[in-house]
Structure 1
Amino acid sequence: MLTRTSSQSLTAQLADRLAERIRNRLLLPGARLPSVRECARQQGVSPYTVVAAYDQLLALGLVEARRQRGFFVRDSGRDPARDPAQPAGDPLQVSALSMVTQMMASRTPADASSLIRSMFHRPSDKPQPGMGVFPPDWLDSSFMPTAVRRMTSTAMLQELSLQYGEPAGDAALRRSLSQKLVGINVPAAPDQIVTTIGATHALDIVSRTMLRAGDPVMVEEPGWALEFARLEALGMRILPVPRRADGPDLDVMAQYCALHSPKLFVSVSVLHNPTGYSLSPNSAHRVLKLANEHDFHIVEDDTYSHLAPEHATRLSALDGLQRTIYVSGFAKILAPNWRIGFLAASPALKERLLETKLLATLTSPALFERALSWCIDQGQLRRHAERVRIRLEGARARAAKLVLAHGCTFASEPAGLFGWVDTGVDTDMLTQRMLDQGYLLAPGSLFHARRPPTTLMRINFASSQDASFWKVFAKTRDEL
């Protein structure tokens, strides 16, 4: 909170806080700042202090004042001579569009990039329920330093550092990954695997290989915020497919296939983010049948495979990598900054995917790939994942009790790392209020392609066990 004992004035503190949120895209271009009176009430300061802070933001070019409407985050890419709330065209259409624009601007606090930025710039040292990763102490281990030391002996370091590695990735790691995939019944030989700089890079390689700007892509909704943002940035037409407990809505998929002939379907079969749902065998067979009938490929994002049972239904196992492309990585479970992911595909498609990787990165760092191979082959990764799963089970049970005790409900059965929670209030508005308390939330609108208002939010069970957070949450929610 703002403090009168700070070396900065209250005006400077408030201006700095809002400026930081704008620069980190926790407040998007077009978002309306609270009214002077409302901001004064929220922050416990005088209206004069708020006016002075808003004036500083105006001077910095971060906001703009609109007559009789308030202060809005400035869009640096917009033509300043034209008010986006007053576009050219039919007056009736202009009026309706203005109303929609104002509604969206006043309630849109964060986007996918802000959630990613928060991984690097935490709002405080408090536990962050909106984060998408395990807390660092959950991933601390002794075997990772050992693996790196083995790879940095003089001879090995020269071998892995002083020349480009293999384009498809370190051969030892691809052999280890091939054996690992046997455990979940995904048939991928080492020469069908391409290593990547994280799972997100693998998804990007698939998109750039299989699609061109304007192509329609089916994506599960709710879904991973970054995937919507990434596909939009590439110019794709996103076709949101509602995700249900047993799998995607097949009727909606069939309609999309008939009307748009999509080329790709992006799916999280196991421990879906954010709902925790896992695909049923019946639904999996029907999805594959639809893919064969309408000639589209499926990219299966199995990022949370280390937290799931091996017998869980996966499209790639049933399909044998004919129409499926399997994607996974190790940032969530092992080492976020090693940035190691991979994809597996049919031999012919693998060569196309490898071409795309070559054009973007040439190859990927062999030193950490070889270290990961050692961790897999020695059983260290498997034992580490087992420990994390056991710890997560306890955290999930404790967090679920806190969720229910503070007046929320679950929109889906708690499973995996994330919980899909109904708060009963607009979570975009709630997110901004909680930022004032030092907590980052992941509002439900982030997980939809068109950002509709919603009372849902995603929580990270590992970082949602703090009772003090839930007390602040309940108090803030009740004040909305």
Structure 2
Amino acid sequence: MNAPRDLPQRVVNRTLQRDGAATLGEQLAARFAERIGQRTLQPGARLPSVRECARLHGVSPSTVVAAYDQLQAQGLVEAQRQRGFFVREAPAPRGGAGAAIAGAAARPPALPAPIDATALIRGMFQGRQGHVGPGLGTLPEPWLDAALIERALRRTLPHAADALRYGDPAGDPGLRQALSRRLDGELGIAADPGQIVTTLGATHALDIVARTLLQPGDAVLVDEPGWAVEFARLTRLGMRLLPVPRGPNGPDLAVMQALIAEHRPRLYVTVSVLHNPTGHTLSLATAHQVLKLADAHDLLIVEDDTYAWLAPPHAPRLAALDGLQRTVYVSGFSKILAPNWRVGYVAATPALAERFIDTKLLMTLTSPALLERAVAWCLDQGLLRRHAERVIQRLDTARQRVMRLATDAGCTFVAPPQGLFGWIDTGVDTDQLGTRLAEQGWLVAPGSLFHARPRPSTLMRINFASSQDAAFWQCFTAARRALQQPTRVRGAAET
């Protein structure tokens, strides 16, 4: 959904043009329409009150009323008496009610679908140049080693002719050998090169695993809180999500056992080390209990170790404890090398690895051998390990600074700060907080993103590396204070 067609493109920029071809009301409506179309304003989200919106944009309340009236006429928002204006649900897909009923009858009962995780991802790609977001899931660009990437790419140039043909379906042999050495020597995971399949990043690896091992309607155990992208991806594949509360030591074993007994899930997808968003790491005792449950109930565990390069090597990995018998290990390099280096991999038993290759062939045929060889060179030379050590040191310093800033802003940490992310309690609804901060150009990750069943939350995930700007915390404090102040509601069309 785009801005109104008769408006020039520039009206959707951040600054309203008082001398523009469109009125201020039209420009403001176009801005909201763009955010709704990009799903950075979710269905059900409440728009700022008329007075608050007028204050934020420096316009009169009547201008805001005119903009909201246009949005309502376009079917993008609805007014709820004594409550305000809310983004409307997307229109139902075409095909008729009969088709929808027939499709529902053919599927097992599904748990409520999660919120659309693409809102945060779209915001990441649309961020202003040089303006980092506290809600981002990656390292800031200045933290990355561009010189290392350039050197690695130059090393692949003598093999550029290999790009003229398809590569090995399992992935570049040199990278798989380097990965085998790292897994065994540094993480204690015994996997020979034949048990490793390369992918287009860790997310692609998780998708290959799900498409290989699951059928629509299958139940899948997931951590809660957990990552919204995984919730949304599994739901779109037709899976039923079974949230397991995640605590400091790992999943709630009693809840997990009860869900297994009732639903007979096929998979448990988890982040053992530096869990997203809490930063928790699975304890050795809980890891053993999880593996016992998996063995007793024929459950396969998918271990997502996306943040492996930021974690201590001695942290317990399920794949190391059971020798990849009931675990499938997934990781990648975009979090440490560069977000655009979509190189990941999956390690499993030889039989499962062959099945994953078949799925990979159907999805992408092969993966880019030149990029994989560049990563292999970084591993073999020890350069990636040294780069990771520098990042970890820098992250330790950033974490201490952000802890002070967040505490001074009135937040409390609900999990011990570790790794890249902090899990904080703001004391206010972070969906509303996120909307206010987005108006000022700050992308945050509200707590509702991390629940399989959406619900309001006062929690928020922050990226320690990209939350060091005191200007953000000043905006955060002002927005938080405004939400804490009681307001007198005068109806949807308050002026």
Give the TM-score of the pair, scaled to structure 1: 0.89
1:392 and 1:462 in contact (8 A); partners too = yes
Three-state SS of the structure 1 residue aligned to 2:146 is coil
Residues 2 and 13 of structure 1 are in contact (CA less than 8 Å); yes or no, is this contact kept in structure 2? no
Distance verdict in 2 for CA 1:171–1:227, change over 3 Å: same
- Alpha-carbon displacement from aligned partner over 1:48-96 (angstroms, at most 9, x marks no partner): 211221243345553456788754434443289x9xxxxxxxxxxxxxx
Alpha carbons of structure 1 residues 52 and 193: separation in structure 2 relative to 1, 3 Å: same
Selected match of 1:25 from 39, 43, 58: 39
CA distance in 1 between counterparts of 2:360 and 2:16 reads 51
Say if 2:303 is the partner of 1:300.
yes
Separation in 2, partners of 1:66, 1:448:
26
**2:212: which partner in 1?**
209
Structure 2 distance, partners of 1:479, 1:429, is 11
Amino acid at match of 1:171: P
Q: Is residue 2:174 matched to residue 1:169? A: no
**Residue 346 of structure 2, aligned match among 318, 338, 343:** 343
Match status 1:46 vs 2:60: yes
| 2: CA distance, partners of 1:36 / 1:445 | 25
More moved, 460-469 vs 11-20: 11-20
Matching residue's letter, 1:175: Q
Counterpart of 1:443 in structure 2 is 446
1:390 aligns with 2:393: yes
Matched, 1:310 2:324: no
Q: Deviations over 1:147-191 (max 9, x none)?
A: 1122123xx1112x1111010101111001111111100111000
Q: Say if 2:40 and 2:123, in contact at 8 Å, map to a contact too.
A: no
Question: 147, 150, 156: which one pairs with 1:145?
Answer: 150
Asked if structure 1 preserves the Cα contact closer than 8 Å seen for 2:46 and 2:432, the reply is no
Determine whether 1:409 maps to 2:412: yes
1:15 matched to 2:43: no
Report the Cα distance in structure 1 between the residues aligned to 2:155 and 2:416, rounded to whole angstroms. Answer: 43
- 2:442 matched to 1:428? no
In the other structure, the counterpart of 1:237 is 240
Corresponding residue number in structure 1 for 2:471: 468
Q: Are the equivalent residues in 2 in contact too, given 1:402–1:467 (CA < 8 A)? A: yes
Equivalent-residue separation in structure 1 for 2:157 and 2:93 (angstroms): 53
| 2:272 corresponding residue in structure 1 | 269
Q: 1:116: Cα distance to partner?
A: 1.1
Amino acid at match of 2:150: P
Gaps of 5+ in 1: 83-100, 102-107
Identity %: 62
For residues 452 and 59 of structure 1, what CA distance do their matches in structure 2 show?
A: 29
- Cα separation, 1, equivalents of 2:50 and 2:170: 57
Please point out which of 141, 150, 173 is paired with 1:136. Answer: 141
Correspondence 1:381 to 2:384: yes
SS of residue paired to 1:276: coil
Offset at residue 229 of structure 1 (A): 0.7
Query: How far apart, CA to CA, are the structure 1 residues paired with 2:381 and 2:19?
Result: 53
From 249, 259, 262, the equivalent of 1:259 is: 262
SS, match of residue 419 in structure 1: strand
SS at structure 2 position matched to 1:322: coil
Is this contact kept in 2: 1:431–1:442, CA < 8 A?
yes
SS at match of 1:119: helix
Distance of 2:292 and 2:461 partners within structure 1: 32
Question: Which residue does the alignment assign to 1:97?
Answer: none
- Output the CA distance in 1 between the equivalents of 2:19 and 2:473: 27
SS of structure 2 residue aligned to 1:187: coil
SS in 2 for 1:142: helix
The residue aligned with 2:322 is 319
Q: CA deviation at 1:247?
A: 0.9
Does residue 178 of the first structure (1) align with residue 180 of the second (2)?
A: yes
Q: Distance in 2 between matches of 1:431 and 1:68?
A: 23
Asked if 2 retains the 8 angstrom alpha-carbon contact of 1:2 and 1:14, the reply is no
Q: Distance in 2 between matches of 1:201 and 1:157?
A: 25
C-alpha change, 1:69 and 1:308, in structure 2 (3 Å) is: closer
The equivalent residue for 1:117 is 122
The residue type paired with residue 29 of structure 2 is A
Q: 1:185-239, CA deviations, whole angstroms, 9 ceiling, x for partnerless residues?
A: 0111000000001100000111111111111100000001101111111111100
- Supply the AA of the counterpart residue of 1:166: D
Distance 1:288 1:358, change over 3 A: same
Whether the aligned pair in 1 keeps the contact of 2:145 and 2:387 (CA below 8 Å) is no
Q: Does 1:278 align with 2:281?
A: yes
Residue 439 of structure 1 aligns to a residue whose secondary structure is coil
Name the CA distance, whole Å, in 1 between partners of 2:57 and 2:321. 56
One-letter amino acid matched to 1:113: T
Checking the alignment, whether the CA contact within 8 Å between 2:190 and 2:320 is kept in structure 1 is yes
Point out the more displaced range, 8-17 or 354-363.
Answer: 8-17
Q: Distance in 2 between matches of 1:175 and 1:351?
A: 17
Distance 1:44 1:111, change over 3 A: farther
Give 3-state SS (helix, strand or coil) of 1:178's partner: helix
- Relative to structure 1, the CA distance from residue 6 to residue 389 in structure 2 (aligned partners, 3 Å threshold; closer, same or farther) is farther
Shift of 1:330: 0.5
1:190 aligns with 2:193: yes
Report matched runs for 1:88-127 at 5 Å.
111-122=116-127, 125-127=130-132
Return the letter of the residue paired with 1:461. Answer: F
CA contact 2:40–2:122 (8 Å) conserved in 1: no
Task: Give a deviation string over 1:324-370, Cα, whole Å, max 9, x none.
Answer: 00000001100211201000001111111111111111111111011
Give 1:126 shift: 2.8
Match of 1:477 in 2: 480
Q: For the Cα contact (< 8 Å) 1:26–1:111, is it kept in 2?
A: no
**What count of residue pairs does the alignment treat as equivalent?**
452
Point out the more displaced range, 46-55 or 424-433. Answer: 46-55
1:380: Cα distance to partner? 1.1
Change (3 A) 1:323 1:139: same
RMSD of aligned Cα (Å): 2.3
CA distance in 1, matches of 2:225, 2:134: 18
CA contact (8 A) 1:62 1:74 kept: yes
Q: 1:126 to 1:377 in 2, by over 3 A?
A: same
In the superposition, the TM-score normalised over structure 2's length comes to 0.87
